[in-house]
């Protein structure tokens, strides 16, 4: 078996395999290699210039955690049960899922046992939050290291393959959230091997990845190779790229353009659709503009502006980045539903500067933007991790679901949202470094103290009870009012699937009317969604047939007037 590692600064590199040391030979451009007999599961690591044993930067398995030795893992050994042609992004409904809280067991195998639920709901893809190894047992996963491996407490690489195989058996695609903008900090041994990071730029989470300095060719290849491995070796359908605005890159070809080209090439090679979804804070249309037209070629991006407009309308919150959206909720909703970005070159009071650029509605297919009422970020980064269901009545949740699931963009739900879960989803960690654990605890309390929260009101991220509180309670699914909301989500997704107008990618054919209240009327083709988010009943003059509704009374025979009470939804279809 060939063992190789990039260590351009080392003068001597040793492989320590199953307790035996072997020297590696230099092969040029900073790479070292050696052939050695090895079997699946054998522990190994590298020693640079006589230093401590370090895990392989490209480790496929870390059975003893982020600081332990790597283990040999053969990707070819798994007996895949379900052939998979893939599921493309157009027409998709995504379901964001955190393995550690989807069940109390918090493992991939336990999560796989419940994949029938999103499949029955009508979801097309489950989107897993990061799986790379991180310190301890439980955490969000955004402080992971070893981007080629799977967190061992979740079950390791074999468990991920069983999860994906089971998902495919249910007809579900699988998307994975990956973090390329930073690693660690705990367990990040890459700086010992080479210039993976740059001191010249910082991200909110530490030193920026070196994508454009000396040695950056190998750093780019490292992260691109990891991405392709997830798609090829684990048969994933797509990747969500975390915080791409923190990928600092001044080279002529941006890393994202390079990565999207390689993913498209792999898709052609495998004969199944693959896609990338960017999380970007830039409101930059170039992110999803095709490479041939000068863009980065990423296939879709999250649209936080629609979330903010919807959240401000639903809750009345007006602090922080919600301020601009809450000033005129009807306008904010109308603008984000028709053009994607609210800040498209307009002034952002939160940033104290203009922000974003406009999308070309005629050129951008609607599915390239993701819409959502809740995500892990928008719930978990609140002081107490409270979901919308903690404060809003079921009718208001039903309105939000209709605008997301029957709106123009690719919809995404956060686990439990479909039944109005009231369990919080809080920020939790399991750092094994006491100093880091205390720094995170203090930082969290300091952040929210600035917004008037007392320290005792902020859940301790290191307390195991914080994670436990965040686990879903599936007994809610059969209780009132959760069962009604679950049924409503079933019906909305079925409508999206059976009426082609709901997945029409052409934004220029979208009809949107938002009046004060607000009352939202969203139409495409022969269908229309009318949502009353205001405090008073409204009366619509329409001859269209009511095909689905939440809280709308049956109109008298022969009447062309439809009454929409507060927090109600009518889905209408013209019959001629």
Residues recognised as catalytic: 242, 279
What is the full DSSP assignment across 518-567? Answer: TEEEEEETTEEEEEE-SSS-EEEE--SEEEEEESPPPPPTT--EEEE-TT
* φ, ψ dihedrals at 546, nearest 5°: -80, 115
CA–CA separation, 267 vs 201, rounded Å?
33
For Cα atoms 538, 398, 319, give the angle at the middle one, nearest 5 degrees: 90
Q: Which helix (H) or strand (E) holds 200?
A: strand 197-203
Name the region of 371 (left: φ>0; alpha: ψ -120 to 50; beta: rest): beta
Token readout for 513 is 């009317």
CA distances (Å), 301 to each of 30, 113, 223, 298, 369, in order? Answer: 36, 30, 19, 8, 5
Give residue 526's Cα distance to chain centre: 32
* Whether the Cβ atoms of residue 246 and residue 181 lie closer than 8 Å to each other: yes
* Whether the Cβ atoms of residue 81 and residue 165 lie closer than 8 Å to each other: yes
Kindly give, in sequence order, each residue whose CB lies less than 8 Å from that of residue 558, ignoring residues fewer than 6 positions away: none
CA–CA separation, 195 vs 186, rounded Å?
18
CA–CA separation, 417 vs 313, rounded Å?
18
- Torsion on CA atoms 484, 489, 490, 494, rounded to nearest 10: 140
Q: State the CB neighbour count (10 A cutoff) for residue 545.
A: 12
* φ, ψ dihedrals at 43, nearest 5°: -80, 145
Bridge partners, residue 541, by sequence: 561
Instruction: Please report where in the chains the tokens 């300095």 appear, as a residue.
Output: 213
Exposed/middle/buried for residue 350 (C-beta within 10 Å: 0-12, 13-18, 19+): middle
Bridge partners, residue 128, by sequence: 97, 176
Kindly give, in sequence order, each residue whose CB lies less than 8 Å from that of residue 439, ignoring residues fewer than 6 positions away: none
Exposed/middle/buried for residue 475 (C-beta within 10 Å: 0-12, 13-18, 19+): exposed
Q: How many helices (H) and strands (E) does the chain have?
A: 15, 27
For 71, which DSSP code?
A: E
Kindly give, in sequence order, each residue whose CB lies less than 8 Å from that of residue 207, ignoring residues fewer than 6 positions away: 182, 197, 198, 199, 201
Give residue 128's Cα distance to chain centre: 7
Give residue 188's Cα distance to chain centre: 23
């Amino acid at each position: 078996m060939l063992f190789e590692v990039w260590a351009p600064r080392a003068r001597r590199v040793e492989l320590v395999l199953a307790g035996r040391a072997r020297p590696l030979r230099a092969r040029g451009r900073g790479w070292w290699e050696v052939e050695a007999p090895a079997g699946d599961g054998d522990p190994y690591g590298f020693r640079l210039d006589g230093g401590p044993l370090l895990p392989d930067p490209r480790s496929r398995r870390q059975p003893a955690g982020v600081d332990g030795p790597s283990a040999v893992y053969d990707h070819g050994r798994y007996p895949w049960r379900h052939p998979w042609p893939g599921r493309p992004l157009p027409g998709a409904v995504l379901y964001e899922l955190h393995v550690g809280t989807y069940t109390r067991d918090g493992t991939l195998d336990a999560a796989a046992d419940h994949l029938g639920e999103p499949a029955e709901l009508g979801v097309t893809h489950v989107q897993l939050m990061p799986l790379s190894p991180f310190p301890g047992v439980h955490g969000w996963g955004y402080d992971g290291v070893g981007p080629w491996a799977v967190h061992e407490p979740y079950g390791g690489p074999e468990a991920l393959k069983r999860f994906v195989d089971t998902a495919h058996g249910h007809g579900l695609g699988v998307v994975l959230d990956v973090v390329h903008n930073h690693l660690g900090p705990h367990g990040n041994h890459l700086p010992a091997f080479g210039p993976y990071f740059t001191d010249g730029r910082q991200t909110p989470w530490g030193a920026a990845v070196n994508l454009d300095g000396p040695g950056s060719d190998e750093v780019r290849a490292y992260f691109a190779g990891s991405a392709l491995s997830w798609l090829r070796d684990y048969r994933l359908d797509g990747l969500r790229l975390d915080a791409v605005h923190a990928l600092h890159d001044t080279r002529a070809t941006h890393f994202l353009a390079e990565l999207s080209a390689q993913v498209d090439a792999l898709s052609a090679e495998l004969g199944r659709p693959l896609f990338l979804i960017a999380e970007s804070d830039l409101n930059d249309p170039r992110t999803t503009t095709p490479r041939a037209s000068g863009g980065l070629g990423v296939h879709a991006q999250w649209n936080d502006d629609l979330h903010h407009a919807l959240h401000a309308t639903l809750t009345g919150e007006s602090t922080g980045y919600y301020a601009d959206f809450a000033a005129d909720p009807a306008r904010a909703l109308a603008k984000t539903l028709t053009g994607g970005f609210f800040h498209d070159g307009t002034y952002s009071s939160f940033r104290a500067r203009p922000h974003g650029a406009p999308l070309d509605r005629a050129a951008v297919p609607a599915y390239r933007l993701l819409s959502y009422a809740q995500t892990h970020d928008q719930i978990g980064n609140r002081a107490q991790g409270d979901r919308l269901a903690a404060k809003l009545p079921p009718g208001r949740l039903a309105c939000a679901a209709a605008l997301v699931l029957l709106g123009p963009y690719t919809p995404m739900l956060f686990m439990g949202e479909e039944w109005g879960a009231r369990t919080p989803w809080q920020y939790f960690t399991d750092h094994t470094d006491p100093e880091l654990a205390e720094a995170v605890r203090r930082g969290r309390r300091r952040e929210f103290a600035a917004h008037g929260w007392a320290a005792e009101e902020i859940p301790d991220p290191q307390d195991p009870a914080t994670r436990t509180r965040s686990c879903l309670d599936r007994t809610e699914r059969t209780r009132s009012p959760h069962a009604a909301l679950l049924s409503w989500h079933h019906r909305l997704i079925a409508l999206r699937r059976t009426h082609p107008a709901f997945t029409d990618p052409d934004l220029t054919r979208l009809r949107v009317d938002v009046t004060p209240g607000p009352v939202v009327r969203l139409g495409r083709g022969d269908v229309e969604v009318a949502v009353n988010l205001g405090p008073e009943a409204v009366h619509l003059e329409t001859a269209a047939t009511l095909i689905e509704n939440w809280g709308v009374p049956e109109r008298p025979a022969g009447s062309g007037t439809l009454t929409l009470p507060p927090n109600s939804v009518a889905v209408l279809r013209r019959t001629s």
